[in-house]
Structure 1
Amino acid sequence: MNTDLLHQLERVEQLATASKLLRLLRAPGRYLYAIGFRLLRYRATKKGVMKQAATFFGTPMMVVLPAGTDIYLTGGKSHDSEIRLARFLIQRLQPGDVFADVGAHFGYFSLLAARLVGPKGQVVAFEASATTHAVLAQNVAASAVVQAHHCAVSDQQETISFYEFPILYNEFNSLDVTQFEDEKWFKEFKPTKITVPAVTLDAFFASPSPVPAVLKIDVEGAELKVIRGAAKLLERAAPAVVLEYLEPKRHNTGHQQAAALLRELGYQSHRIGADGQLIVCADLDAYLQAEQIDSDNFVFVK
């Protein structure tokens, strides 16, 4: 077990839950810059700025503020679900493993996985957004372990339309933006339409290619398409599947269908405990409602 990494991740969690004063005292220069940038410069220009962040696992990475503020200030993605996911990956991934990151964004989990799988492992990162992929590619350029692909992942190999939001909301980049039309920010921050190639995981990881031990999917509503296009891989190799899942109020029909298909393929759903261990969780919607949270990362394993 990577005890030192788990200890460093605890520091991220402590900062994430600390008061603004404590975060200010920990890194006053960074804190004042990040908050000042968002409140003043970004509000006036709507343009981000690229800054280097020191991650808790020791790999420097570039982020674009204000979207990457949490990594810039704490060294990690600071939402509770992301901290628990990091704990799970630290304990699950082994040297030599393959990790597939579908919806890699700036590459935070790809870089963490590269540290965990080591020089004999492999990380395959997929990012459909052109602007986000440019940051991802820069972050993994020095790693011989990570391959960064500018494409979407779907159930067919074709050219598709994809929508990119301005930097503050670019984690919502997706194939379908109608799910966000009721959000207050959507009226002001309209997406840009681009076209990108789409691949299927069945084709990408066709035999004799090494297959992933863990497959992470964070694709803002396209989860069912990803799973459909990976059905043969899931039956053949049975990787653990990490799926971001939304509550019903956030138009989660696609998430429900993806979870149902995974169960048809022999998978059982789990939530990630505070210690990073898996806990069987059969009813994902009921769990989210009971915890009063709008999303979480769930892990499906055979």
Structure 2
Amino acid sequence: MGLEKKFDLYLEWTSFLRSKLCQIILWAYYKNVFLGDWVLYLDNGTKFTYHSDTGLFPLSFSFSGITDFRDMKFLSRYLRKGDFVFDCGAHQGLYSVYLAKLVGNEGRVFAIEPSKRFISYLEKNKQENNLYSIEIFPFAAGNKKEKKTFYENGPFSRLSVQSFDNSSIEVEVICLDELLDRGLRYAFGKIDVEGAELLVLQGLTKMLKEANPPVLQIEITKLVKDYGYSAQELKEFLFDLGYMLYLYSPWSNQLLKRSKPWKSCINSLAIHHKSIEFVIDRLKSKNQEKGL
């Protein structure tokens, strides 16, 4: 391994460890302090208001250049004005408003979220930022059309795998192949559904066979076991469709191929093998535009 590559690897891991330490400190502080509305100013000029009913302030919403830095830096370098993207598991709209700012009025953000309560917060964030490119679909995504119980539990809300208390509501589940316009080419899709990610992918198979979109951001956590599958099975499902899993290094602006990226980061990038050069070229050209 050359000296330059060794330095990049050193920078990657030391930066990663520092960010993890910051996450632990922020988590210990936020979960005991914040209750109600809390405003985040994102690095691309959007304002996101997060409403907490419990005082539990999750790491994913403490964006300050630390926790979602890896994911959002990729998006800011990869996406272009006019791109079409979707946000499955949009919740209160953190990613939806961030994406909408990046794709502009020429693009579209299709936000999929079944909870009426979360949709109301998402709508407020949309209106507050004048981001009219966001289109909201009040559904849950899955592998077949059905009605199912949805458990509302703040950032950990998900399709129920067992009976819950009165925080549960009935929602309509639909396949993304049916919900999204297959005639459009999507540049990016985010899937964050607290363990049911494989079910969403199974309902998106027709589009994925066409490498549409070329890039997916997928949350992979231990919650997958609640839905009867493993992280490895999810990886193999994507591999059969031509997608490989990567982590993105914002420090070296490189895609890092890892056999089990979920061991290092809850969000992995699934990139179709036919599109890898396209993605790399976009990342490089955006850096060149900014003189980085």
Tell me if 1:63 matches 2:50.
Answer: yes
Change (3 A) 1:100 1:254: farther
Residues 116-168 of structure 1 deviation map (CA, whole Å, 9 limit, x = unaligned): 11111111111122322221121113321111222101112222211112xxx
Residue number in structure 2 paired with 1:27: none
Secondary structure of the corresponding residue to residue 43 of structure 2: coil
Q: Does residue 192 in structure 1 map to residue 167 in structure 2? A: yes
Displacement of 1:173:
0.8
Task: Please say if 1:296 is aligned against 2:266.
Answer: yes
Structure 1 residue 143 corresponds to structure 2 residue 131 = yes
Look up the SS of the partner of 1:156 in the other structure.
coil
Separation in 1, partners of 2:156, 2:238:
23
Partner of 1:282: 259
- Give the letter for the 1:233 counterpart: M
Alignment equivalent of 1:112, drawn from 94, 98, 119: 98
Match of 2:140 among 152, 164, 167: 152
Alignment match, 2:36: 49
User: 2:155 corresponds to which residue?
Assistant: 171
Aligned equivalents of 2:143, 2:65: Cα separation in 1: 29
Structure 2 residues without counterparts, runs of 5 or longer: 1-14, 273-292
Q: How far is the alpha carbon of 1:238 from its aligned partner?
A: 3.1
Change in CA separation of 1:250 and 1:70 when aligned onto 2, cut-off 3 Å: same
Q: CA deviation at 1:249?
A: 9.9
Structure 1 residues 244 and 75: CA distance shift in structure 2, 3 A: closer
Measured against aligned partners, the alpha-carbon deviations of 1:191-224 in whole angstroms (never above 9, x if no partner) come to 711011122111122343x232111111011111
Q: 1:245 aligns with which of 205, 220, 224?
A: 220
- Confirm whether residue 219 of structure 1 aligns to residue 193 of structure 2: yes
CA contact (8 A) 1:53 1:71 kept: no
Give the C-alpha shift of residue 39 in structure 1: 4.4
Say if 2:180 is the partner of 1:205.
Answer: yes
The partner residue of 2:150 within 122, 144, 162 is 162
Are residue 264 (structure 1) and residue 230 (structure 2) matched? no
Structure-2 residue corresponding to 1:90 = 76
Alignment CA distance shift 1:278-1:268 (3 Å): same
Separation of aligned partners in 2, 1:118 and 1:249: 34
Cα distance in structure 2, aligned partners of 1:263 and 1:296: 18
Tell me by how many angstroms 1:248 deviates. 8.7
Pairwise CA distance, 1:233: 0.8
**TM-score with structure 2 setting the length:** 0.72
Contact (CA 8 Å) 1:268, 1:282: kept in 2 or not? no
Counterpart-to-counterpart distance in 2, 1:162 and 1:299: 26
Residues 236 and 138 of structure 1: is their aligned pair in 2 closer, same or farther, counting only changes over 3 Å? same
Asked whether the equivalents of residues 205 and 211 of structure 1 are also in contact (C-alpha less than 8 Å), the reply is no
Number of corresponding residues? 247
Instruction: State the AA in 1 paired with 2:168.
Output: K
Q: Out of 217, 229, 236, which is 2:203 matched to?
A: 229
The normalised TM-score by structure 1 is: 0.70
CA 1:93 to 1:259, structure 2 compared with 1: closer, same or farther past 3 Å?
same
Deviation per residue, 1:240-282 (Å, 9 max, x gap): 1111112599768354333221111111111222435311123
For the residue of structure 2 that corresponds to 1:58, the secondary structure is coil
Gap regions ≥5 residues in structure 1: 1-9, 24-33, 43-47, 182-188
SS at structure 1 position matched to 2:220: strand
